[in-house]
């Protein structure tokens, strides 16, 4: 019964939000095109349920600025004030409602991470893939990007073990409050979440890998 109720909730809420927010989506797309250029949408391969890859949609928040050698500059150098506003207001996340309609993700679930992270998971961390990922989740309402990776994975697996319609509704309500308060956008001193490097001490977590925003 829970999977049916969850999918029904996903479809109903996503359709209503897309209809209500259509003017906001269109205006935001125009602003992104004007301030950041093309493409308007950031597309990236993410790991869905059981690790199956899919393409996530978000509004672009970074420039394509490069160094003299042609390499993308660090995230902090490419994140504009306008892009920071999109992130802090969570407007950049709205195109993911299309992913919800497609069935790639749910409204609530562990946030889908890049597919390159999956081989770095421990067996325990891999359990976060046992349910569909979501636009928001238990980790997002308990620190979002302010918590470290170990804590984040722990919150994700807790959700997998305790998921229910009541919990999903609670997370959606808490998400609305977090968006209003604009809390947990990024870690202190970081423009984005640090790269997940796994447990190997030879590959510490850093923010040296730029996030490529392209079609």
Closest CA to 57 of 32, 20, 81: 32
What mean pLDDT comes out for the span 160-166?
96
- Note whether residue 26 is domain-resident: yes
Q: Is the pLDDT confidence value at 202 over 50?
A: no
User: Look-up: residue for tokens 């893939």?
Assistant: 129
- Note whether residue 115 is domain-resident: yes
Q: Is the pLDDT confidence value at 183 over 70?
A: no
- Note whether residue 212 is domain-resident: no
What mean pLDDT comes out for the span 60-80?
85
Task: Quote the pTM value.
Answer: 0.84
The CA distance from 15 to 158, in Å, is 29
pLDDT at 209: 45
- Note whether residue 84 is domain-resident: yes
Q: How many domains does the chain have?
A: 1
- Residue 141 structural domain: 2-181
> Cα–Cα distances in Å, from 73 out to 60, 63, 65, 70, 210?
16, 9, 6, 9, 7
Q: Render pLDDT for 108-145 as a digit per residue (tens, 0 to 9).
A: 999 999 999 999 999 999 999 999 999 999 999 998 77
- Note whether residue 194 is domain-resident: no
pLDDT at 192: 61
> Cα–Cα distances in Å, from 75 out to 61, 70, 80?
10, 15, 10
């Amino acid at each position: 019964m829970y999977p049916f109720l969850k999918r029904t909730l996903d479809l109903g809420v996503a359709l209503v939000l897309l209809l209500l927010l259509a003017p906001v989506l269109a205006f935001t797309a125009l602003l992104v095109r004007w301030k950041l250029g093309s493409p308007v949408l950031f597309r990236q391969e993410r790991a869905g349920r059981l690790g199956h890859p899919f393409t996530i949609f978000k509004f672009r928040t970074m420039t394509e600025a490069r160094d003299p050698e042609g390499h993308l500059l660090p995230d902090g150098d490419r994140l504009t004030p306008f892009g920071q506003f999109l992130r802090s207001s969570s407007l950049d996340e709205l195109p993911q409602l299309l992913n919800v309609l497609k069935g790639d993700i749910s409204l609530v679930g562990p946030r889908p991470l890049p597919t390159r992270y999956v081989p770095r998971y421990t067996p325990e961390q891999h359990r976060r893939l046992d349910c569909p990922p979501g636009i928001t989740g238990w980790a997002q309402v308990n620190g979002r990007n302010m918590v470290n990776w170990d804590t984040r994975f722990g919150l994700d697996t807790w959700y997998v073990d305790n998921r229910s319609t009541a919990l999903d509704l609670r997370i959606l309500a808490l998400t609305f409050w977090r968006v209003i308060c604009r809390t947990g956008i990024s870690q202190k001193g970081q423009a984005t979440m640090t790269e997940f490097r796994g447990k190997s001490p030879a590959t510490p977590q850093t923010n040296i890998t730029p996030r490529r925003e392209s079609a």
